[in-house]
Amino acid sequence: MIQTDILIIGAGPTGLFTVFEAGLLKLRCHLIDALPQQGGQCSEIYPKKPIYDIPAYPEILAGDLTDKLMEQIKQFEPGFTLGERAETIEKQEDGNFIVTTNKGTKHQAPVVAIAGGLGSFEPRKPPIPGIADYEDKGVEYMIKEPELYRDKDVVIAGGGDSALDWSIFLTDIAKSVTLVHRRNEFRGALDSVDKVQELKDAGKINLVTPAEVKGIVGENSVEGVLIEQKDKEQYTLKCDHFIPLFGLSPKLGPIANWGLEIEKNAIKVNNALDYQTNIPGIYAIGDVNTYPGKLKLILCGFHEATLMCQSAFQRIFPDKKYVMKYTTVGGIDGFDGTRKEAPKAVVKKIE
């Protein structure tokens, strides 16, 4: 059983910043995310796309924003359960909640903060007959352990950032990498497209366009894929792994069955006070919530996380009074023993 003060569902920007605000209040956090890494959409969907409305950053890449947030919260030592989806929630007699993931990992906390963005992301699966029979037997929709592909023949399908970036990354690990896309044009960062072109010219990536994977070959696991390419007859390309990367579809998922008040696939909250849901002790912050005047912006999620943590502190310590101090005055004490503070003024006599 993983125990913490605030259990955060979702490790996107809002969830990560919650760790910082909670840390200022001496509250520990643990985060659950269905994706294999932190950052939510910023890491999985558009890591190399610029964001222009983050305060103090005229422009910052989504992936870099995740890195900065991880650096900011490092001293508060958050825990992570990644690659697992929050499945069920139970309220205990003592007021604590137990959240269990789809893989059976249990977490206990007096406060749950749902920061799931647009919901749990589920991969968009291509309409290939029998593909479900090969899942976890050579078909993967997300790359969680790159070493799985060491010295293997890998076929990746897709034309976006994920397909381009993973094709580049796996060239140093896999025996061979083939990238299949139904168009000659790719929708991704220009430097990624240029890098794939460079690797193709060097013979390190086999590029098959315009083409589609139409079938999978193999008895008990993937042994190859059926390729349908323009002006060519369908043929079999031998491989050990087939990775279709066609993006992720956001869904509220099992959270929709937790008894929360839902409106248009979002969780209704009390925005007049603390972004609490209709269930005391469960909050919803960021893009996953809704209230009059709601704006789905990262900076709004940061604001909601700040107020939510204040309310969480009062819930956990009803008899304590928290006096807010500006970080420039009080400094920041990390759970790892580190301290950040402004340089003290030097006292010197003027004669």
For the chain, percent of residues with pLDDT exceeding 90? 73
pTM for this one? 0.70
Exposed/middle/buried for 19, CB within 10 Å: 0-12, 13-18, 19+? buried
Q: What number is the average pLDDT over the span 94-114?
A: 96
Q: State the CB neighbour count (10 A cutoff) for residue 148.
A: 14
pLDDT at position 338 is 92
∠155-160-69 over CA atoms, to 5°?
110
Please state at what angle helix 161-170 crosses helix 190-201, rounded to 10 degrees. Answer: 40
Confidence of residue 349 (pLDDT cuts 50, 70, 90): confident
- What percentage of the chain reaches a pLDDT higher than 70? 98
Alpha-carbon separation of residue 198 from 151, 157, 173, 181 (angstroms): 21, 19, 17, 17
Strands (E), 16-96: 29-33, 50-51, 60-61, 79-82, 86-91
308 neighbors 113 (Cβ within 8 angstroms): yes
**What confidence tens digit (pLDDT) does each residue in 21-34 have?**
999 999 999 999 98
Q: What is the pLDDT of residue 294?
A: 94
Q: What average pLDDT does the segment 92-107 reach?
A: 96
Q: What mean pLDDT is reported for the chain?
A: 92
Element (H, E) at 22: helix 13-24
215, pLDDT greater than 70:
yes
Bridge-based pairing of strands 111-114 and 6-9 is parallel
Q: Which stretch of 126-130, 186-190, 315-319, 344-348 has the lowest confidence by average pLDDT?
A: 344-348
> Predicted confidence band at 1 (pLDDT cuts at 50, 70, 90)?
very high
pLDDT, tens only, 290-344: 999 999 999 999 999 999 999 999 999 999 988 788 888 888 999 999 999 888 7
- In this structure, is the dihedral angle defined by the CA atoms of residues 256, 1, 337 and 64, taken in order, positive or negative? negative
Q: 204: which 2 tokens?
A: 């390190």
Dump pLDDT digits (tens) for 141-184. 988 788 999 999 999 999 988 899 899 999 999 999 999 999 99
Q: Hey, is 79 helix, strand or coil?
A: strand
Rounded to the nearest 10 degrees, the angle between the axes of helix 13-24 and helix 298-316 is: 40
Residue 1 CB contacts under 8 Å (≥ 6 apart), including other chains: 98, 106, 107, 108
Rounded to an integer, the average pLDDT of 35-41 is 86
For 244-299, the pLDDT digits (tens) are 999 877 778 889 899 999 998 899 999 988 999 999 999 999 999 999 999 999 99
pLDDT of residue 88: 96
Tally of CB atoms within 10 A around 343: 5
Distance CA 88, CA 74 (A): 28
**Residue 156 in contact with residue 178, Cβ under 8 Å?**
yes
**DSSP structure class, residue 276:** B
Strands across the sheet containing 282-284: 79-82, 29-33, 6-9, 111-114, 282-284
Length of the chain: 351
pLDDT > 70? residue 120: no
pLDDT at 129 over 90: yes
Between residues 31 and 122, the one the model is more confident about: 31
* Cβ proximity of 284 and 311 under 8 Å: no
Residue-level pLDDT at 121: 66
What whole-number distance in Å separates Cα of residue 262 and Cα of residue 232? 50
Measured CA to CA, the distance from residue 109 to residue 35 in angstroms comes to 21
- For the chain, helix (H) and strand (E) counts, in that order, are 7, 25
Asked whether residue 18 carries a pLDDT value surpassing 90, the answer given is: yes
Residues with Cβ within 8 Å of 210's Cβ and at least 6 positions away in sequence, in order, are 181, 182, 183, 184, 229, 230
Reported as a pLDDT band with limits 50, 70 and 90, residue 198 is: very high
